[in-house]
Structure 1
Amino acid sequence: MGEPSRPADAEVEARLVRLDSLLERVEQVAGPTADAAREAVRGLTELYGEALARVRDLAGPDVTARLTGDQLLDHLLVLHGLHPEPVERRVAAAVDRIAEVLRRRGATVELVGIEGSVASVRLTTKGCGGSSSGVEEAVREAVLAAAPELSDVRPVAERTAPAFVPLESLLPAAAPAARPA
């Protein structure tokens, strides 16, 4: 017998969107039944998180690396606080990946740092200013996909290189020296 077929990432994404929609509906309902539903979801989430932790611990580093290579499992490891890579390293890797794409389009991105739940990035774009908002959104999506525990990704102002101004240009012009006759 072969392995059971797994849903494609697009199908998993559609399931996650549907689940988010259902959970939002439950959150909007008041009363003991809604409270019980929310508690049941929390309990199942905690139980599955514990099961995932045990799989990770039993599997060892090789399998853990394969788990983090799967988009859904990587996200679940983050969700449950089980990801082996710290947020800083995941964000840096995401910025490096998108930097390669942006470089080909004449833009650069650099991770400035992470403070609390906010990552700061420095973006440099060439060309029309309208394209910078698309670049910002692409960077934001890439970073939050790698680190969904972050709440925001903020661009910081570009560094400008200091202009070189010769000292002589700042001094008053000296009168030419008189030549001996």
Structure 2
Amino acid sequence: MADDDVQAAVRLPDRAVEARLARLDEGLERLESAPGPAARDALEAVRLLTEVYGEALARVVDRADETLCEALADDELLAHLLVLHGVHPEPVERRAARAVERLRPAVRERGGDVEWAGVDGTVARVRVKSGGGCGSGCGGGSSDVTDAVRAAVLAVAPELEGVEPVPDGGERRAAPAFVPLATIKRRAAPQPQPQETR
């Protein structure tokens, strides 16, 4: 019994999780192409198990306070599962904006910058500034940065259909992804308009 307890306490490092996910994808691909009722039954079992685990995860999110929700959203594996099951506590725009902010330091090290510009329908918009601050040895340019941003944003917000750069000037800046409640409460009530006299 003690060996079982030790086995249950073992946690998988991220690389081991990634390896298992890759094996799972391969196994599911083989099952999907296999003929016969046994393959269909196995796929149905996986689907049902996934639905039950999704419901369990949704119940955890329902009972979680704000601190726990943030911790769940910050864990890469949990965040992907929350998105997969449609129970991520953060709206899509906030998730995408955070992904851009996480990339920003690396882009700045290469002499450029990237800035969140909002969502237009189902397309994320970012401002990408390529810089020459690190010389020719850094490699890449704004297209490399855009590709990296696209991958990062779509990983955390697969509901979006794409990521597009916007020009760095002229275009109106999008509203921030999160507006504090205190800001909304401080807005003045609209003043009545004077009536015209005839």
TM-score of the two chains, using structure 2 as the length reference = 0.68
Q: Does 1:56 align with 2:61?
A: yes
Aligned equivalents of 1:61, 1:113: Cα separation in 2: 24
Q: Does 1:46 align with 2:56?
A: no
Q: What's the counterpart of residue 39 of structure 2? A: 34
**2:61 touches 2:89 (CA, 8 Å); kept in 1?**
no
Q: Does 1:77 align with 2:82?
A: yes
**1:90 touches 1:146 (CA, 8 Å); kept in 2?**
yes
Question: What are structure 2's unaligned runs of at least 5 residues?
Answer: 171-198
Number of equivalent positions: 160
Q: How does 1:157-172 map to 2 (within 5 A)?
A: 158-159=167-168
Distance verdict in 2 for CA 1:24–1:114, change over 3 Å: farther
Q: What's the counterpart of residue 144 of structure 2? A: 134
Question: What are structure 1's unaligned runs of at least 5 residues?
Answer: 162-181
Shift of the alpha carbon at 1:23? Answer: 1.7
- Answer with 1 or 2: which has the greater Rg: 1
Aligned equivalents of 1:26, 1:12: Cα separation in 2: 21
User: One-letter code of the match for 1:123?
Assistant: V
User: One-letter code of the match for 1:78?
Assistant: V
Q: How does 1:113-128 map to 2 (within 5 A)?
A: 113-127=118-132
Q: Please, what is the CA RMSD of the aligned residues? A: 2.6
Shift of the alpha carbon at 1:69? Answer: 2.3
Aligned equivalents of 2:60, 2:37: Cα separation in 1: 34
Aligned equivalents of 1:14, 1:118: Cα separation in 2: 31
Distance verdict in 2 for CA 1:59–1:150, change over 3 Å: same
Q: Does 1:153 align with 2:163?
A: yes
Aligned equivalents of 1:36, 1:113: Cα separation in 2: 43
**Identity of counterpart residues, as a percentage?**
56
**1:79 touches 1:149 (CA, 8 Å); kept in 2?**
no
Aligned equivalents of 1:64, 1:110: Cα separation in 2: 25
Q: What's the counterpart of residue 7 of structure 1? A: 12
Equivalent residue in structure 2 for 1:111, among 110, 116, 129: 116
**2:95 touches 2:156 (CA, 8 Å); kept in 1?**
yes
Distance verdict in 2 for CA 1:31–1:116, change over 3 Å: farther
Q: Aligned to 1:96, what secondary structure does the other structure show?
A: helix
Q: Aligned to 2:141, what secondary structure does the other structure show?
A: helix
Q: Does 1:24 align with 2:55?
A: no
User: One-letter code of the match for 1:138?
Assistant: A
